Structure 1
Amino acid sequence: MPWTCADIPDQRGRTALITGANSGLGLETARALAQRGARVVLACRSLERAEQARAELQADACGELIPLELDLADLQSVQRGAHQVADQLGRLDLLINNAGVMAPPRQLSAQGHELQFAVNHLGHFALTQQLLPLLEPEGRVVHVSSGAAYFGRIAFDDLQGERRYDAWAAYAQSKLANLITALELQERLEVTGSSVRSIAAHPGLARTNLQPTSVAARGSRLEALAYRLMDPLFQSAAMGALPQLYAATAADAQPNAFYGPGGPGNLKGYPKACRMAPAARDAATRQRLWRVSEELVGNALGS
């Protein structure tokens, strides 16, 4: 039998924080968890977006919905949001690093990092480090990656795309970084004896606001045509959210796995464990990216 939202265990008494909870995969993930009784922190780029998400979800939610302003493109905002969660809630059961940007023209974050690397990777890396103590003893961190990770390469000689910027290569790099972080974090948790689980997932091809936003930002008619031709391959955002919900709640979800749709090419369908991107398994790359990320975040936050 396929795994669906009906299989999510009772979430009463549990608290989840979801980044990018105002639309697409994040909104559907918040909806599913709140319907099962979880207290859900709706971490969004602005408080207005978070309040809009709460208003949309309120009618069907069985658990409390808490709006939180947290802009992943600004590490200072990430730090403020993490401190607010620690002060007000004191604990978490689930951290779902869902938010992302996809293939915009080259832009910089508040700290001067390439936007995709900043939002998709560095912001989540910093958030995870700051919230990890709240997830002890048996919480889970879910890293939402993409099938693009299979084509990614960590360009250590040009991480910020300063010499050569390709929007899709930068996106693939950031999504590979999500996978690398998931595996490296799990290894570090095991070394310390922690029972927190670090798990990766991807949505396959899901209809979200990422596609139209990317097309609008780049003004690419060819890209817009490609999406129209590919439309039959896409599944709904609700279906696309199932792998991350599985990673977050299923009793048998395993660390070091990469959950995605189980259909042909892992593009659509119900959740299953997918092949891990080989580049994510390279220990030297994982350790180097971790060190570089710690340095970039530390420099930005003065730590």
Structure 2
Amino acid sequence: MQGKRVLITGGNSGIGLVAACELAAAGAEVILACRDSDKTRQALEVIGAGAEIAPVNLAVDLASLASVRELAATFLARYDRLDVLINNAGIMPAEQEITEDGFEMQMAVNHLSHFLLTHLLLDCLKVSAPARIVNVSSMMHKKGEMDLATFTGFHKYKMQAAYSQSKLANMMFTVELAERLNGSGVTVNALHPGAVATDIVRSFPWLVRKIVGLLFISPEKGAKTTMMLASDPELEGVSGKYYDQCKLAGYSPVADDNLQRDAFWAASTKAVGL
């Protein structure tokens, strides 16, 4: 990763932090896209301890499309190249929340913010080709259904169903974008990191968080697939695929349904104002 520049959302904790540390240690210039917080400042210290190039954070609130636009503008004003974009950040709130833009929080943060950010940085990625986009999805996407009406909220909110749908959105985005980027030198792939113990479960009851910590794999193991898709030279040119814990895997047939994918793309484009 010598000479490579990487932008990663949610790189201040969990698998994002581990991936950021390893990429920085491998010589990459790592730029976080996280809230400006003590946690982020501490993450920068941890990443910087093993980095050849000091990491920085470009502050963003992924629940705000205006903030995402500001992030992209700030990045493009400072940098003329981007080798790897890792759309890593994700949330799973126990209760339904609606963003300032009027969207259900999981769909907004897990999909729409990354959909917008990726599009705003696409030209930069293209001029940096060969470049890579890595979308952190989940095996839960296979249980998801795409109901475009729920972009603005569920009549009856079920945390797991909303999460599965947002992760299905990651997969549908990956497949469609790969087709659109064919021949551009920019690849895009999605992954399931494994059942990882991270603070995505921070809104869960204490006992559930304790059980998750005991049964799930560590962020260090969970970050392996992200690292592979971001850096493995053997994957240069590979695009539109889904990897489950470093192994090529099948994904939901919904992502290969052209009619559903076209409608989903149109709805996403309209939602973020592109």
**The TM-score by the shorter chain falls in which range?**
over 0.9
1:56 pairs with 2:52: no
2:16 aligned partner, one-letter code: G
Indicate the SS of the match to 2:233: coil
1:258 corresponds, among 242, 254, 257, to 242
Q: 2:203 is matched with which residue?
A: 214
Give the distance between the partners of 2:132 and 2:221, measured in 1 at CA. 21
Unaligned runs of 5+ in 1: 1-10, 262-270
CA contact (8 A) 2:98 2:153 kept: no
1:156 pairs with 2:157: no
Give the distance between the partners of 1:230 and 1:28, measured in 2 at CA. 19
Q: Shift of the alpha carbon at 1:209?
A: 0.9
1:178 pairs with 2:150: no
1:32 aligned partner, one-letter code: E
Indicate the SS of the match to 2:203: helix
Q: Shift of the alpha carbon at 1:30?
A: 0.3
Q: 2:24 is matched with which residue?
A: 34
Alpha-carbon deviations, 1:245-299, whole Å to 9, x = none?
11111122321221122xxxxxxxxx2112212222211111111110110110x
**1:64-75 superposed matches below 5 A:** 64-75=54-65
Q: 1:99 is matched with which residue?
A: 89
Give the distance between the partners of 2:37 and 2:121, measured in 1 at CA. 20
Give the distance between the partners of 1:243 and 1:44, measured in 2 at CA. 21
**1:71-82 superposed matches below 5 A:** 71-82=61-72
Indicate the SS of the match to 2:117: helix
Alpha-carbon deviations, 1:60-91, whole Å to 9, x = none?
11233011101110011100011111110111
Give the distance between the partners of 1:287 and 1:63, measured in 2 at CA. 41
1:161 aligned partner, one-letter code: G
Q: Which moved more, 1:21-30 or 1:155-164?
A: 155-164
1:143 pairs with 2:135: yes
Report the CA distance shift for 1:283/1:36 in structure 2 as closer, same or farther (over 3 A): same
Q: 2:228 is matched with which residue?
A: 246
Q: Shift of the alpha carbon at 1:202?
A: 1.5
Report the CA distance shift for 1:34/1:230 in structure 2 as closer, same or farther (over 3 A): closer
Q: 2:219 is matched with which residue?
A: 237
Q: 2:250 is matched with which residue?
A: 275
CA contact (8 A) 1:78 1:123 kept: yes
Give the distance between the partners of 1:106 and 1:171, measured in 2 at CA. 11
CA contact (8 A) 2:21 2:46 kept: no
Indicate the SS of the match to 1:200: strand
Give the distance between the partners of 1:153 and 1:27, measured in 2 at CA. 30
Report the CA distance shift for 1:58/1:157 in structure 2 as closer, same or farther (over 3 A): closer
Report the CA distance shift for 1:208/1:198 in structure 2 as closer, same or farther (over 3 A): same
| Normalised TM-score (structure 1) | 0.85
Alpha-carbon deviations, 1:148-175, whole Å to 9, x = none?
1010111123333342211111110000
CA contact (8 A) 1:108 1:115 kept: yes
Give the distance between the partners of 1:259 and 1:38, measured in 2 at CA. 23
1:22 pairs with 2:12: yes
1:182 aligned partner, one-letter code: T
Q: Which moved more, 1:40-49 or 1:146-155?
A: 40-49
Give the distance between the partners of 2:248 and 2:170, measured in 1 at CA. 16
Indicate the SS of the match to 2:267: helix
Unaligned runs of 5+ in 2: none
Indicate the SS of the match to 1:159: helix
2:152 aligned partner, one-letter code: Q
Alpha-carbon deviations, 1:17-47, whole Å to 9, x = none?
0000110011001001000010000110225
Q: 1:116 is matched with which residue?
A: 106
| Normalised TM-score (structure 2) | 0.93
Q: Which moved more, 1:38-47 or 1:140-149?
A: 38-47
Q: Which moved more, 1:63-72 or 1:227-236?
A: 227-236
